[in-house]
Chain A
Amino acid sequence: MESTRTGRSFAADVARLAADEPAWLRAARHDALAAYEAAGLPDRARHLWRYTDPAKLLPGDRPLAEPGTEFGELPPDYHDGTFEKVAALVLVRDGRLLRSALDPEVADAGLLVADLRAAATQHEALVRPHLFALAQAQLEKFEALSAALFTGGDFVRVPAGLALNRPVRIAHRVGAAGLLASRSLVVVGDGAQAEIVYDLASADARGDALLHAGAEVHVGAGARLRLVFIQTAGSAFVHAPVIRCRLARDAALETVTVALGGGLVKSLQATEIAGRGASSRALGIVFGDGRRHFDHHTVQDHVVGHNESDLDYRTVLAGRARSAYTGNLRIGLEGAGASAHQRNHNLLLSESARADTIPELEILTNDVACSHAAAVGPIDEEQVFFCTSRGLDPATARRVIVAGFLEPVIARIPGEELQQRIRGVLTSRLEAVT
C-alpha cells in the first residue's frame, strides 16, 4: 500500500502522549493518526505540491524528538522582568511550553495563556469546542500528523470584552534534532482586542529539526486580533505550519508573517471569513538566500459576503533561493458584497533565484469586488540610479530599496525593539548578498 511507504508507525508515540489526556483528545489524536496513515503522499502533479516535494516533509527516520527543558538565552528585546511592554511572556521549547508569565492585572481580567495539553484537562470547557474545529473534516496529510503527535503547544484565550494594550509574546526555540509537532489554539472572545506575537528561532545556526505546527485561531464577533508569526530559524530547519483562522461577524484579523529563516518552509494559512462586517488582512514577507526554499499557500475564504479581505505578500530572494506562492481567493455562493484583494510581489536579487506566483480566484457569486496582482522581477534600476545619484554606492542603494520593499510589513509588528531586531536580521542578511 502507498501509505505504508510514507513512514513508520507513530502508534506508540500517540498512545504515550494520550495516556494522561481526556478521552475526547485521545480519540482525536487516534483519528488524526489514522488519517495520516491512510493518506498517500500528496500528488506532485497537483498544483499545491508542484514546487515542493512532499517527501521532504515526511519524518523519514527522524524520531519524535523529546522537547528540551531549557529555553536558552532570550533576545535582549524580550524581558526586563516587568510587564510594561508585554501582557504575557511565554517560552516554548521544541513545541512544549516551558514557562508563562502573565501580568497579574490581565490574568485577573481573564487572560489565559497555558500549555495546550494541560489546558485540555484543566480548561476543557474552553478548549474542547475549539480544538480541531477549524481543521477540515478531512485533514491534510501533514496537518493530521501534527494533530496526532503534538507534544505541546499553547492555548491563548482572551475573554470577551477584554482589550489588551500590550502584546502576548510567545518565544519558541527549536533545538532538538528530529521530528517536532506543536499546536497553538487562540480564542479571542467577542469584542476583545489582542496582539499575539509568535517568535520562532532555532538554538543554533543550523536548526536541524522538522517542525509540523498546527494553529487554530478563532476571532469572535467584533473582536480585533493582530497575529504575528516570525520565523528566523537556521538553514537546515524544515517548517510546515498549517494555520487556520475563522472570523465571526464584525471581527478584524491582521496577520503578519515574517519568514526569514528555515531551509524549507511549506506553509498553509487559511482564513475563513464567516461573518458579515468582518475584515481580514494578511501581510507577509519572505527573505531567502542560499538555497532556502519557501512555499506559501494562502486561502481567503469568504463563506458569507459583506466583508473584506486583503492580502499582501512580499518576497525577496538572493543566491539560489526559491519561492512559490499560491493565493486562493474564494467567494462562496452566499458571498455577495464581499471585497477581496491579493498582491504578491517578488524581488529577485540574483539570476539564480526563482519565484513562482499563482493567484487562484474562485468566485461563485456576482456583486463582489476582487483584485489580484502578482509580479516577479529584479530591483528597478531607475530606483538604483536615483539612490546612487544621491551618493549611495550601488550595494547600499540595493539594500535601501530592498529594506524599503519589506518595511511596510515590518512596521506592522508590535514593539519598536522587536521591529529593530527584525530589521537588524534583514540588514545583516542583505549585507551578505549585496
Chain B
Amino acid sequence: MSQNDAPLLEVDDLRVAVDGKEILKGLSLTVRAGETHAIMGRNGSGKSTLSATIMGHPRYVVTGGSVRFRGEDLLALPVHERARRGVFLSFQYPVALPGVAVSNFLRQAVKAVRGDAVPAKAFRPLVKETLELLEIPEAFVRRYVNDGFSGGEKKRLEMLQMVLLEPALAILDETDSGLDIDALKVVSAAINRLRDAGRAQVLITHYQRILQYVRPDRVHVLLGGRIVKSGGAELAEELERTGYDGLDAEAA
C-alpha cells in the first residue's frame, strides 16, 4: 500500500506496559482521513495509555504490535517529530509552564509544526479569530501556560493549540470531562472546525454527552486493554442505556 492511500492511523495488536504492568493487551484500531472516532470505556481500561503511547510518552513501554501514521512507523519517531507529522494530543491534565506566556508558546509551537515562523502580521489575526471561536478573552494569551488555570481554562487552551496547529490526527483525551455545558459547546466547535476530508479525530471519553455535539463516525468500546466492540454512533447511545456491564463477558 502506498503512503497516499494508507489509513491515517493504523494501530495493530498494540501491547503497552506501564511500570512493568501490561495495560494494552493487543489493541487494534484503524482511523481513516475524514473520520471521527470515539473510544469509550471505564476508568483503567487503557484509554489514556493509548493516547499517551501514540504521542510517545516515555513512561509507556511498547512491548508488542505497531502504530503506523500514513504508513510510517510512528513508534520509531521522537515525540516532536510525531507532532510535526500532524499528530496532536489534547491532554486530560495539561501541565503548567510557569513563566512561559501563552502567546510565546503558541508562536513557538506553530513555528515548530509548520516548519517556519508565521509572520506576526498573519499570526495575530489568526490567534484573535481562534480566541473568538473559543470564547477566550484576549488577555488570556499574556498569562503563563496553564499556570493557575481552572480546569475549563486548561481545556480551552488545549483547543486553542489544536485549532492553531491544524493537526491531521487529533486525539482528545477526556477533553470533555469536567466541563460545563457552555465550555462543552466551545470544545465541540473547535473539534468540528477541524473535521474535513483530510483529517481525523479520536475522542476518548467516558460520556456520551460530547457526542451529541460531535457526532462520531465510529464508536469503540475499550475494555481490559482491548477494543471489544465497535459500531456507529448508535453504539454510544446503546452504551448510555446499558452501561459497560454487558460487555464484560465479551472482553473475557
Residues of A within 8 A of B (CB): 380-383, 385-394, 396-397, 400-401, 403-408
Contact A391 B99, beta carbon cutoff 8 Å: no
Closest 8 pairs between A and B when the two form their complex, measured CB to CB: A404-B99, A391-B112, A407-B99, A404-B100, A390-B109, A391-B113, A388-B79, A391-B83
Contact A388 B80, beta carbon cutoff 8 Å: yes
Q: How far is the CA of A408 from the CA of B101 in the complex (A)?
A: 10
The answer, yes or no, to whether B140 is at the interface (CB within 8 Å) is no
Chain B nearest CB from A407 CB (Å) reads: 4
Q: Which of B89, B98, B144 contacts A389 (CB 8 A)?
A: B89
Contact A391 B165, beta carbon cutoff 8 Å: yes
Q: How far is the CA of A387 from the CA of B105 in the complex (A)?
A: 9
Contact A404 B89, beta carbon cutoff 8 Å: no
Q: How far is the CA of A226 from the CA of B165 in the complex (A)?
A: 41
The answer, yes or no, to whether B213 is at the interface (CB within 8 Å) is no
Nearest residue, chain B, Cβ from A394: B80
Q: Which of B88, B97, B112, B113 contacts A386 (CB 8 A)?
A: B97
Chain A nearest CB from B242 CB (Å) reads: 35
Chain A nearest CB from B114 CB (Å) reads: 8
Q: How far is the CA of A383 from the CA of B147 in the complex (A)?
A: 12
Interface of A is mostly: helix
| A to B contact number (C-beta, < 8 Å) | 77
Q: How far is the CA of A390 from the CA of B167 in the complex (A)?
A: 10
26 A-B pairs within 8 Å (CB atoms) are namely: A380-B95, A382-B95, A383-B97, A385-B57, A385-B58, A386-B94, A386-B97, A388-B80, A389-B79, A389-B88, A389-B91, A390-B83, A390-B105, A390-B112, A390-B113, A390-B165, A392-B108, A392-B109, A392-B112, A394-B78, A396-B112, A400-B105, A404-B97, A404-B99, A405-B99, A408-B98
Chain A residues near B79 (CB-CB < 8 A): 385, 388-389
Chain B residues near A386 (CB-CB < 8 A): 91, 94-95, 97
Chain A residues near B165 (CB-CB < 8 A): 390-391
The answer, yes or no, to whether B175 is at the interface (CB within 8 Å) is no
Contact B95 A383, beta carbon cutoff 8 Å: yes
Q: Which of A380, A393, A405 contacts B80 (CB 8 A)?
A: A393
Q: How far is the CA of A99 from the CA of B88 in the complex (A)?
A: 57
Chain A residues near B112 (CB-CB < 8 A): 390-393, 396
